[in-house]
Structure 1
Amino acid sequence: MNLYGIRAIYTFEMARAWRTLMQSIASPVLSTTLYFVVFGTAIGDRMGNIEGISYGAFIIPGLVMLSLLGESISNASFGIFFPKFSGTIYEVLSAPVSPFEIVLGYVGAAATKSILLGLLILLTARLFVDYEIQHPLWMLTFLVLTAVTFSLFGFVIGIWADDFQKLQIIPLMVITPLTFLGGAFYSISMLPEPWQTLTLFNPVVYLISGFRWAFYGVADVNLALSLGMTLLFLLLCLGVVGRIFYTGYRLKS
């Protein structure tokens, strides 16, 4: 394995994050903080408890996931799109690094930034809402798996997109609505039928449910099912990325 090549890509992408600190770190943290102020402090006391948990604390896992999904996709998609846009992707492809090492460098950097962002949001939430993490190892597991999975998904989007506008279509038109409808601000058990059953077709439900279980021991779906769905999406993304490099889709033309 070419560790020097992986490190070069990873270091370059991480350096870009520090150069755009306000956009990549400060902006999502500030946006999420506003949710904590409005829903956790201003409205939370009037909402009552959900499954024995204060509303402000209940929405923390959903808000972290909301930022994590968006930033993972954004970081990875822009990371691979810019070399395509500038033409430097051909230098990367001609370098003595394998497709696996290229993906490891780009996706690893995107996932690292998203994980750091998620942890920073959790620290910020402590300033506004009291919460607990009953299963910290499971919390980190879901945090890492989600960051890696959606960074891979963002990598696919970055290769598929042929202009800057397309980079935002799926995150804004698909991922954000699915997150809001996936139990970020409520328990799906509160929904009447048939909406409760239909919601189970939303893959984000399983991510938020598993992540929330790690905090409070309560979940909308079984923990094993949440973990299984996350791993399934991870494998699907890996399969698509592998197919892209095998065929050279929008990389060699």
Structure 2
Amino acid sequence: MNWRAIQTLYISEMARTGRTLGQSVISPVISTCLYFVVFGSAIGSRISEVQGVSYGAFIVPGLIMLSLMTQGISNASFAIYFPKFIGTVYELLSAPVSFVEIVTSYVGAAATKSAMLGLIILATSTLFVSIHIAHPVWMVVFLVLTSITFALFGFIIGIWADNFEKLTVIPLLIVTPLTFLGGTFYSLDMLPPFWQKVTLINPVVYLVSGFRWSFYNTADVSVGLSLLMVCLFLSVCIGVVAWIFKTGYRLKS
């Protein structure tokens, strides 16, 4: 394993955060604050508690998950797409580094940035509501696994996309709607029985539910199933990335 190459690429990607601080950190934090104002205050004034937790505190895990998913995808997809766009990806592919080292660097940086943003949003949320983390170790586990998984997913999108518009198609038209419909702002118990069963098709439900359990010891689905779904999605993403580098899909053409 070429740790020097990993370190160089990782530091290079992390340095880009400083140059795009407004887009990478400030904008998501402001958006989260707006969610608290709109949902936490307006809707929270009508819904006092959900599963024994104040509504403002109840939506915190969902908002953190929303940021982890969208920012993880955005950071990783742009990180690999831009070298493709300007042609420097060929220099990277011809360098004495393996695909494992390339993926570790880019995905590691994207996951680090999204996890840091999640922690910043968690700290920001304490300005609005009182938060208690019942299982801090599991909270970190879900945070890290989700960050890595969606960074890998974003890496795949960045390789698949052949223009800037395609970078935003999947996050805007698929991931964000699934997140809003995945229990971010409500409990599945609040839905009619039929829609409770339909919603279980949404994979985001399991991510949000497991993460919320680590905070308040309450979940819509079992914690074991939530962890299994995260690991399954992670395994699929790893398999797809391995196939991409093995076949050179949209990298060598």
> Could you state the TM-score of these two structures normalised by the residue count of structure 1?
0.99
What are the residue-to-residue correspondences of 1:23-38 with 2, within 5 Å?
A: 23-38=23-38
Q: How many Å apart are 1:235 and its aligned residue? A: 0.1
Aligned to 1:189: 189
Aligned equivalent of 2:224 = 224
Partner residue of 2:6? Answer: 6
- Give the aligned partner of residue 114 of structure 2: 114
Matches within 5 A, 1:9-158: 9-158=9-158
Deviations 1:145-190 (A, max 9, x none): 0000000000000000000000000000000000000000000121
Separation in 2 of the partners of 1:194 and 1:39?
25
**SS in structure 1 at match of 2:44:** helix
Q: Which letter does structure 1 place at the counterpart of 2:196?
A: Q
CA distance in 2, matches of 1:126, 1:37: 13
- Percent of pairs with identical residues: 66
- The DSSP-based 3-state class of the residue aligned with 1:97 is coil
Would the aligned equivalents of 1:209 and 1:220 in 2 still touch at CA under 8 Å?
yes
Q: Determine helix, strand or coil for the equivalent of 1:67.
A: helix
* Residue equivalent to 2:247: 247
SS of equivalent residue, structure 1 residue 243: helix
**Unaligned 5+ runs, structure 2:** none
- Residue 242 of structure 1 aligns with an amino acid whose one-letter code is A
Whole-angstrom distance in 2 between the partners of 1:69 and 1:245: 23
Matched-pair contact (CA < 8 Å) for 1:142–1:211: yes
Q: RMSD of the alignment, in Å?
A: 0.7
Q: Distance in 2 between matches of 1:75 and 1:124?
A: 21
TM-score (norm 2): 0.99
Cα deviation digits, residues 54-74 of structure 1 (max 9, x gap): 000000000111111000000
- Give 1:237's aligned residue: 237
SS at match of 2:164: coil
1:108-159 CA-to-partner distances (Å, cap 9, x unmatched) read 0000000000000000000011111010010010000000000000000000
One-letter code aligned to 2:75: N
Could you list the runs of 4 or more consecutive aligned residues of structure 1 that deviate by over 4 angstroms after TM superposition? none
Whole-angstrom distance in 2 between the partners of 1:12 and 1:248:
24
